[in-house]
């Protein structure tokens, strides 16, 4: 592209950037200063949106616009999509990658604002500030009803020590709180630098006076705090959720509050937004404080995000390197069709072993055998790391930032070529070392694009690594599969596929079962209680 100079000069070709969500006005000022036309079209949909994007070279959105494959197809000139914020789940990344459209985000602009809001909610809950404010606004002078509690020397349990969780920990340490945390991918050394003592999830539940969650919402974290886990907590535990609605099971909070098991709740996010009428009884509870998803809504955060994403969009349109690409490497790899199935396989195996592993992650080893895996071992290693981290890191994990996130968390990653054993010509193997031991998975590609999981630890088997799975070890005797199948059938869960691996007749075997829907924790518990079955893991790929 022609430009006057290399220092953000004016471009000879007039560019247009479509803006379909409200962003800070500085975005428009920055674009116009570079000779780019900002085309602001708020609240557009359907054919109007298709017409608007037809001439756009760039597109800036927040969470209000969903960019689908057909919109990308209609955007003949589109080169870059900028998401003013962290999440990119409202963008069809696969469609953008196929078209060579770069997707970038602004992952750090609202970190401080969200962390500060979390701390404000926690302190307000401890001292019952909103309730006391309402009382005095009603003309009352009721000091006895609003006796609060100090946070000094209380224990704060932080679930998820990503960027926001760490900032919360640093700030609450200043209030003299004892800090414990659960994060399966953060190293002990990194936690110690924060002054956080790492524990397992059970230890966090039983050891915390206050709990704050900072994880993504996925099958592994949905309903993380629910009836069963709330029952494990200390009597009167206080809970803050400024992360994602659905991590805390809202329907279980009301009973826990009424019984006194939970002493207070502070919510900024909800499973359905705005909250439906069914949640009003909870939201009106005297021990609940709630805000309308405003943790990131500060003037500073909105300006930071707007500046960051606009700078990156301008750089992309100028052909310059960007700092926060989401799919840059994926676009490059899209030109190599032979590696695509292995990229998908590596990501899936990473997701799988990340959920099979127990305890904190210490190291990851990726071994490659065969021509294609060996030629692309570096990017396949990154894909495996992305899969492992994706379940617990709050920001989107991609092929660009995965190695940096692993390094930041103190995880040692090793790439080992031609070290994957077995009788397969092409094989990808991932090893995971945790505090609880080592796990191994391996996979290959059948018929050019069909992924197969062929090994779990020392057991060789064959099953597609996809969807919802249950993996467990069992005594090799008649009736074991029937017993598990009976529990699944009783809970109306259909089996899609299964595979069995064993070392020898009558020895401990390993079974992997694919089912048609998410298996509830209670069902996993039923299976684990069967005689002869151990180490039951629910895996969602």
Q: CATH number for the domain including 485?
A: 3.30.70.260
- Count of C-beta atoms within a 10 Å radius of residue 222: 17
Q: How many domains does the chain have?
A: 4
Q: Which of 457, 477, 508 is where one domain is finished?
A: 457
The pTM for the full model equals 0.77
Is residue 273 annotated as a catalytic residue, yes or no? Answer: yes
537 in active site? no
Give the H or E element holding residue 459: strand 459-463
Please say if the pLDDT value at position 7 is more than 50: no
Tell me what the mean pLDDT of segment 517-526 comes to: 89
Q: Quote the tokens at residue 95.
A: 């469609």
Output the pLDDT for position 418: 60
Q: Is the pLDDT of residue 242 over 90?
A: yes
The token pair that represents 461 in the structure block: 């088997």
The backbone region for 467, taken as left when phi is positive above 0, alpha when psi lies in -120 to 50, beta otherwise, is left
Q: Which domain holds residue 511?
A: 468-541
Judging by DSSP bridges, how do beta strands 178-182 and 197-198 pair with one another?
parallel
In a domain, 377, yes or no: yes
Task: Give the separation between CA 350 and CA 399, rounded to whole angstroms.
Answer: 13
The radius of gyration computed from the CA coordinates of the chain, to the nearest angstrom, equals 25
pLDDT at res. 134: 94
**Of 70-74, 149-153, 327-331, which gets the smallest average pLDDT?**
327-331
Closest CA to 442 of 504, 363, 366, 508: 366
Question: Is residue 347 domain-shared with residue 413, that is, in the same domain?
Answer: yes
Query: Residues 34, 83, 166, 244: which is the catalytic one?
Result: 244
- The pLDDT of residue 159 is above 70: yes
- Residue 459, pLDDT score: 93
- Do 151 and 274 fall within a single domain? yes
Does the structure show a pLDDT above 70 at 13?
Answer: no
Q: What is the mean pLDDT of residues 354-374?
A: 87
pLDDT band at 509 (very low <50, low <70, confident <90, very high): very high
* Distances in whole angstroms, Cα of residue 275 to Cα of each of 117, 254, 272, 283, 290: 19, 15, 5, 9, 11
pLDDT the model gives residue 421? 57
Q: Tell me: do 103 and 118 sit in the same domain.
A: no
244 is catalytic: yes
pLDDT at 303: 93
Judge whether 135 and 145 are in contact, CB under 8 Å: yes
CATH at 89: 3.40.50.720
* C-beta atoms surrounding 272 within 10 Å: 11
**Residues 349, 416 within the same domain:** yes
> Which residue among the candidates 32, 150, 192, 273 is catalytic per the annotation?
273
Q: What is the pLDDT of residue 4?
A: 38
Residue 420 has pLDDT above 60, yes or no: no
Q: Are residues 141 and 229 in the same domain?
A: yes
Q: Are residues 200 and 85 in the same domain?
A: no
- pLDDT bin (cut points 50, 70, 90) of residue 185 is confident
Residue 176 lies in a domain: yes
Does residue 27 fall inside a structural domain? yes
Residues 103 and 115 in one domain: no
User: pLDDT band at 394, cuts 50/70/90?
Assistant: confident
Of 54-68, 94-108, 151-165, the least confident: 94-108
Q: What is the CATH number of the domain that holds 415?
A: 3.30.1330.90
User: Is the predicted pLDDT of residue 442 greater than 50, yes or no?
Assistant: yes
DSSP, collapsed to helix, strand or coil, labels residue 458 as: coil
37 and 161 inside one domain? no
Which residue among 277, 308, 331 closes a domain?
Answer: 331
The tokens describing 484, both together, are 């598990």
pLDDT for 11 equals: 46
Q: CA 17, CA 53: separation in Å to the nearest integer?
A: 9
> Which of 98, 171, 285, 293 does the annotation list as catalytic?
293
Does 155 lie in the same domain as 70?
no
Mean pLDDT of 486-492: 94
Average pLDDT, the chain: 90
The pLDDT tens digits of the residues spanning 189-232 come to: 889 999 999 999 999 999 999 999 999 888 788 899 999 999 99
Would you say residue 373 lies in a domain?
yes
457: pLDDT strictly greater than 80: yes
Phi/psi at 521 (5° precision): -60, -35
Name the pLDDT band for 384 (thresholds 50, 70, 90). Answer: very high
Location of structure tokens 């072993």:
353
């Amino acid at each position: 592209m022609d430009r006057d100079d290399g220092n953000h000069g004016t471009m000879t070709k007039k560019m247009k950037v479509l803006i379909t969500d409200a962003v800070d006005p500085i975005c428009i000022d920055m674009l116009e200063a570079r000779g780019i036309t900002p085309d602001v079209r708020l609240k557009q949909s359907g054919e109007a949106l298709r017409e608007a994007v037809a001439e756009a070279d760039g597109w800036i959105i927040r969470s209000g616009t969903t960019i689908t494959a057909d919109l990308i197809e209609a955007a003949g000139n589109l080169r870059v999509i900028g998401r003013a914020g962290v999440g990119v789940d409202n963008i069809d990344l696969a469609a953008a990658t196929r078209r060579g459209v770069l997707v970038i985000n602004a992952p750090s602009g609202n970190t401080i604002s969200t962390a500060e809001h979390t701390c404000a909610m926690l302190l307000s809950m401890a001292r019952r500030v909103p309730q006391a404010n309402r009382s005095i606004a009603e003309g009352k002078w009721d000091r006895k009803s609003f006796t609060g509690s100090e946070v000094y020397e209380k224990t704060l349990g932080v679930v998820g020590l990503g960027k926001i969780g760490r900032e919360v920990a640093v700030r609450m340490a200043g209030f003299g709180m004892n800090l414990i945390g659960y994060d399966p991918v953060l190293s002990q050394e990194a936690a110690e630098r924060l002054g956080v003592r790492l524990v397992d999830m059970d230890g966090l539940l039983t050891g915390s006076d206050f709990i704050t969650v900072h994880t993504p919402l996925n099958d592994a974290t949905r309903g993380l705090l629910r009836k069963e886990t709330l029952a494990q907590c200390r009597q009167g535990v206080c809970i803050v959720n400024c992360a994602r609605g659905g991590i805390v099971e809202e329907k279980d909070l009301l009973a826990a509050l009424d019984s006194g098991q939970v002493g207070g709740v502070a919510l900024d996010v909800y499973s359905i937004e705005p909250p439906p009428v069914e949640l009003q009884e909870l939201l009106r509870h005297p021990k609940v404080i709630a805000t309308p998803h405003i943790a990131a809504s500060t003037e500073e955060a909105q300006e930071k995000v707007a500046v960051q994403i606009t700078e990156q969009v301008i750089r992309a349109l100028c052909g310059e390197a960007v700092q926060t690409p989401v799919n840059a490497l994926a676009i490059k790899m899209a030109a190599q069709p032979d590696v695509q199935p292995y990229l998908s396989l590596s990501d899936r195996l990473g997701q799988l072993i990340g959920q099979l592993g127990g305890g904190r992650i210490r190291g990851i080893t990726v071994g490659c055998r065969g021509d294609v895996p060996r030629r692309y071992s570096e990017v396949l290693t990154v894909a495996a790391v992305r899969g492992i981290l994706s379940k617990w890191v709050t920001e989107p994990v991609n092929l660009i930032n995965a190695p940096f996130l692993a390094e930041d968390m103190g995880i040692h990653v090793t790439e080992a070529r031609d070290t994957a054993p077995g009788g397969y010509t092409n094989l990808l193997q991932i090893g995971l070392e945790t505090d609880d031991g080592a796990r191994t998975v391996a996979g290959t590609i059948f018929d050019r694009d069909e992924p197969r999981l062929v090994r779990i630890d020392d057991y060789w088997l064959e099953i597609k690594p996809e969807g919802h799975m249950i993996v467990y070890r069992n005594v090799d005797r008649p009736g074991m599969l029937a017993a598990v199948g009976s529990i699944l059938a009783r809970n109306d869960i259909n089996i899609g596929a299964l595979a069995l691996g064993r070392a020898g007749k009558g020895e401990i075997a390993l079974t992997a079962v694919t089912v048609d829907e998410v298996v509830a924790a209670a069902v996993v518990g039923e299976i684990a209680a069967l005689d002869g079955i151990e180490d039951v893991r629910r895996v969602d790929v």
